[in-house]
Amino acid sequence: MVTWHSDNGSFETFNEGLQLILAQQPQSIIILSCSDNQYIESDINNLLQTINIPVCGGIYVNVFIGNKLLEQGVLFIGLDFEISNHQFHINDDHSANISQLIDDNTSLKQETSCLMFYDGLMANTEFFLEELYSTLDREMTIAGGGAGYIDFVQRPCVYTNQGLKSDIIQLITFNRPLSTSIGHGWTILDGPFLVTDSNGSTIKSLNYEDAFNVYKETVEKLSQYKFDQHEFFQISRHFPFGIENINGELLVRDPIVHSNSSIQCVGNIPDSSMLYILKGEKDSLINSAVSALNNLNSSECNLTIAFDCISRKLYLQDDFTQELDMLYTHKDTNIILGVLSLGEIANDQGGAMKLLNKSTVIGCL
């Protein structure tokens, strides 16, 4: 494996780094770049179409190498092993065909390890994961993160040999073990509340009352925040939801917008689920990322890659550098490469593939 990175956001630097990586004759390339770069999409697309080995990766808000956080720039990872690049263009018109597309992909059904790069603002990601898990003939270990921009405007953001793409899921499979671990560090503030009316990612009622009123009353009662003094997201980023599963795990869901009595989240909220309102402390969030690293089975790890939710940086602000510092120094392992993502992908304890929010997913391969 070879890597090259720069904090320069120009196309000329992108091309320079790509040529240096290609000169090392890798068998495939992962490209991770920052969303604040000055790339012209047509220039990138023309360049990507000249590459004759598999290309994957995405544009993310930030990229990091060790404890160095890039606001601009690019990271190239040249892999010395073969990968299979399975691409699925998903939109509302084609969601019903997902299971058939997966079922027709014979080679995908035989793989056991996978990285997932995808458009973090696309619809149907969770539906795809459910169909993938139910259609595969064997359990697959997966780690991934959503690409995209902090302004939440959808643009082409996934690197392919055909150019940058939107509304795409890229499954990168390979014939070697993948160890994964998850951390989030959020703890219960109050609950549980019964979800009595929801539609996809929108919560309409909790305990048969308007969802926003329940959320507002609880947060204002148990914290110093007042919703008439702050924008909704300025408060809600401190108090996400947690869905409890049968294993007692909390699946974190990020509330981002409220409209009248409803709250919209990133990720689906099932009807009749038990929902908690969570809280975060700086130390618990940072320590959860370190615990995820410690829990990895990394005895034969050639690449450690992390998908860390952008909302963790928004919550920790300047203290986010402490998380990177502790990951960098806490364990004698190879340097962690990673991105700040719009949603994270990993298996839960039962093996099911899940879309996560406000979490850290670390993969070792």
pLDDT tens sequence across 29-61: 999 999 999 899 999 999 999 999 999 999 999
Distance (Å, whole) CA 266 – CA 259: 15
Report the alpha-carbon distance of residue 93 to residue 105 in Å, rounded. 20
- Find the DSSP H helices in the chain: 11-22, 41-48, 98-104, 125-135, 211-222, 232-236, 282-294, 310-316, 320-329
CA distance 247 to 350: 8
User: Could you tell me the pTM of the whole model?
Assistant: 0.91
Q: What is the pLDDT of residue 185?
A: 93
Do residues 214 and 358 both lie within one domain? no
Cβ atoms of 251 and 358 within 8 Å: the answer is no
Does one domain contain both 205 and 164? no
The residue from 245, 279, 313 where one domain ends is 279
Phi, psi of 321 (to 5 degrees): -65, -25
On whether both 51 and 122 belong to a single domain, the answer is: yes
DSSP code at position 352: -
Count the domains in the chain: 2
Strand, coil or helix: 115: strand
Domain boundary among the residues 279, 294, 326 is at: 279
Q: Does 65 lie in the same domain as 212?
A: no
> What is the model's pLDDT at position 341?
95
**CB atoms inside a 10 Å sphere around CB 267:** 19
* 33 and 133 fall within a common domain: yes
Q: Are residues 193 and 179 in the same domain?
A: no
Mean pLDDT by 10 residues, the chain (365 residues): 95 97 96 95 96 97 95 96 88 61 73 93 88 83 95 93 95 91 94 94 95 96 94 92 85 90 90 93 91 78 90 90 85 79 91 92 92
Candidates 123, 109, 179; CA nearest to 347 is 179
* Domain span at 232: 187-279
Last residue of some domain: 219, 246, 279?
279
What local confidence, expressed as pLDDT, does residue 176 receive? Answer: 86
Verify that 192 and 179 share a domain, yes or no: no
> Looking at the structure, do residues 89 and 17 belong to the same domain, yes or no?
yes
pLDDT of residue 123: 80
Paired with 2 in beta bridges are: 78
The CATH number of residue 237's host domain is 2.40.30
